[in-house]
Structure 1
Amino acid sequence: MLTTAFSTVFKPFLRDRFLHLLVLLGVILTLFQTEKIMQFPQFVDWDTIITLLGLLMLTKGVEVSGYFDFVGRRMINAIDNERRLALFLVTAAAVLSTFMTNDVALFIVIPLTITLKKLTSLPVTRLIIFEALAVNAGSLLTPIGNPQNILLWNKSGQSFLHFIGQMAPLALVTLLALLIVTGFCFPSRSLKKTANNEGYPFQKRLLASCGVLYVVFIACVDLGLALYGLLAVILCFLLLARKVLLRIDWPLILVFIVMFIDVRLIVGLDVLQPVFARIHGLPDYGHYLLSIGLSQVISNVPATILMINYLPSGPLLAYAVNAGGFGLAMGSLANLIALRMANDKTIWLKFHFYSFPFLLFSGVAGWFLLPLIS
């Protein structure tokens, strides 16, 4: 039993090439800033880590309860057309991300999508890519759709509705383009259902417990008591379903921890300080391109934190960092979550085939839309 548990938890760390790459990058960067080693714990946003871990546990709990299998079977019976089902799930991901944040939307939509892989011939890997793009497109609309918007909204002093009005043109154009491309990429044909009875048996007690725990955990996060909420979640799963804790994507948690450290080390490089000092003197298009470019390298949330020291928290910065969520997987933490949850090594290359055109489209569209809202 202990051997099986050890293998389930620790073997994924040995196979995680992305994690190994981040650790190697961190080691190289540390060689130039050895005095910062003791500051590593301060570089990590532990509230984000705790929230992510709690959501991972709760999502896995719902999956183990068999609810996704139950809903998936109902869904394919109601929507038996591949294109309509893809459009429904992509739209659902975008809508959920506007008020639940992009990562929470993924925790709802992607496990359900993965369940459909066992039940139909649906190209699930491609669909997960489009869902990742959808939460980036949908979340940019509202002040609470993603972390960078929360920061920009708080700094701008705008009303909730004014912020939405500012972001609506880019959100609508990007989402419309995504839905059009989705329609082309998923043919209008009947789903081939598989006689697959694999999956978890439906455990209503576990599902109900996860529902209650979700409410408790979110309330704790809102009250600044996320750690206590996480402890409550862990304790309940120890009593109800220990296998949930074993099947968490633990390497993903370490990926985020190492990412926080790597980003702070990159920003702290002495060689980059003269570059940052010149940001003020750049023209608007330079600010726009730099914000998008930084989002590709260090992710759009850290890019926002950096650029807000040099630019107003207005439409230009908001459009740039949100468009920057497309492109490289590193552009948005939601991308990394989606690709990791897919558990398919081939998805990383395929994601960029679709994501880079959307980076180009949203970046150009955003630039030409800016004069309309200024």
Structure 2
Amino acid sequence: MDSIKRFINNEIVLCVAFVLAVGSSFVVHPDRQYLGYIDFRTLSILLALMITMAGLQRLQVFRQIGELLVAKMSSISGVVLVLIFLCFFSAMFITNDVALLTFVPFSIVTLSISNRRDLYIIVIVLETIAANLGSMLTPLGNPQNLYLYSLAGMSLGAFIKLMLPYSVAALVLLVACGFAFVKPAPVTLAEKHKYDRSSRDKKMIAMYVFTFLISILVVARVLDYRIGLVIVAALTLVLDRRVLRKPDYSLLFTFIFLFIFIGNIKRIPALSDAIGSFLQINEVGVSIFLSQFISNVPAAILCSGFTDQIDKLIIGTNLGGLGTLIASMASLISFKQYSYIDGADKKKYIGVFTLANIFFLVVMCAIYIIL
């Protein structure tokens, strides 16, 4: 019983998606159309990326890059800005989840050996915002971008052009906050980790760089997604099969259950018309609102079933990742990492996180209105 409760607590979005899918199947009974609900292209790209990122993370490639950059700083404000930049820029390519899983624990260690534990909360909060906002620039940045980009059929350049103004504004704002909340002070980072990589590790890094390039080709529609997934899965299975246990498969099942739920709802005229009418009021505003309560990935899948204004959903669900702690599930990763610290003040963290996110959300919405 305890294990079931623990599973529900850890996978609440998955469980809700499962209940919705099963519940809707009693109204719209399973048939051949169910298979058409599922976006296999998105799922294939997502799986290939998760395998690749899990491999590179296991080999500590991202952490090594972070340590090299941080080691060049002699001021604590410089260190903090590098940590924010790492989350912002890396999230564009390795996803916001992986960026936070990699750099939040690294930041905790860095601030600890710098004797600046007082900066834990503000730095982790800014890193979380940086990862969520940095990830919005590319289809690779987060799951909802990957799905909506695939659904829209837009070019990679068009996607980046759509989100570029928000990313530039976010970066300027993050830098300003970094300078405002972290005053310059000398810092010495004496503790360094040595990476003695074997020839096999180097080969594995090269392989995962190759599988990442394969994923980019699939995203850019140069390579068929089925071929891309077969290449990534085959290479990993033969050369590093243990990494296949690492990806977050619950995310894939969450997508599948939500696809089934939305597909069924679209076949119930009364509900479909009601949701469609509500969404047409303001696609950006509705997707931001829904993200605050169900997170932006489910909000993207839900809204996409009832509007063809996918560009507005891309903007809305990306901005919707700001706000509450569950608006972006990646934010929970940071919160969990912080909660492991001895003496962690969770109430203070949630307070600072909420205020900072609301501030960034208001600014981003103002930019949308201006544009």
Mark yes or no: TM-score above 0.5. Answer: yes
| 2:118 pairs with 1:129 | no
**Aligned-pair distance for 1:61?**
1.9
Unaligned runs of 5+ in 1: 1-11
Work out the number of aligned pairs and report it: 349
1:179 and 2:182 equivalent?
Answer: no
Contact 1:329 1:352 (C-alpha < 8 Å) held by counterparts: yes
- 2:10 corresponds in structure 1 to 19
Per the TM alignment, residue 265 of structure 1 is displaced from its structure 2 partner at its CA by 7.1
What residue number does 1:78 align with?
Answer: 72
CA RMSD of aligned residues (A): 4.7
Task: Measure the CA separation in 2 of the matches of 1:321 and 1:309.
Answer: 14
Q: Which residue of 2 aligns with 1:217?
A: 211
User: Do the aligned residues in 2 keep the contact of 1:217 with 1:230 (CA within 8 Å)?
Assistant: no
1:191 Cα deviation from its structure 2 partner: 3.0
Which one of 210, 232, 235 corresponds to residue 232 of structure 1?
235
Give the conservation status (yes or no) of the 8 Å contact 2:66–2:86.
no
CA distance, structure 2, for counterparts of residue 330 and residue 370 of structure 1: 22
Deviation (angstroms), 1:320: 1.5
From 289, 293, 309, the equivalent of 2:289 is 293
Tell me the alpha carbon deviations over residues 289-313 of structure 1, each in whole angstroms, 9 at most, x when there is no partner. 3211222344323322332343343
% same residue = 21
Structure 1 residue corresponding to 2:166, chosen from 163, 170, 185: 170
In the alignment, does 2:248 pair up with 1:253? Answer: yes
1:40-51 alignment runs, 5 A limit: 46-47=43-44, 48-51=46-49
Higher mean C-alpha deviation, range 333-342 or range 48-57: 333-342
Distance in 2 between residues matched to 1:115 and 1:207, nearest whole Å: 24
Deviation at 1:324, TM superposition (A): 0.6
Q: 1:350 to 1:236 in 2, by over 3 A?
A: farther
1:87 to 76, 81, 90: 81
From 57, 60, 80, give the equivalent of 2:58.
60
Name the SS of the counterpart of 2:248 in structure 1: helix
The letter for the 2-side match of 1:140 is M
2:139/2:146 contact within 8 Å kept: yes
Partner of residue 134, structure 2: 138
* Matched letter for residue 317 of structure 1: L
Gaps of 5+ in 2: none
Q: Is the 8 A contact 1:148 1:300 kept in 2?
A: yes
The Cα offsets for residues 174-201 of structure 1, whole Å up to 9 and x where unpaired, read as 3333332233333422336466x7x675
Where 2:129 maps in the other structure, the secondary structure is: helix
Structure 1 pair 83–262 and aligned structure 2 pair: CA distance change class (3 A): farther
Q: Give, in angstroms, the shift of residue 354 of structure 1.
A: 4.3
Using the TM superposition, give the Cα deviation of residue 34 of structure 1 relative to its aligned residue in structure 2, in angstroms: 6.8
3-state DSSP class of the match of 2:59? helix
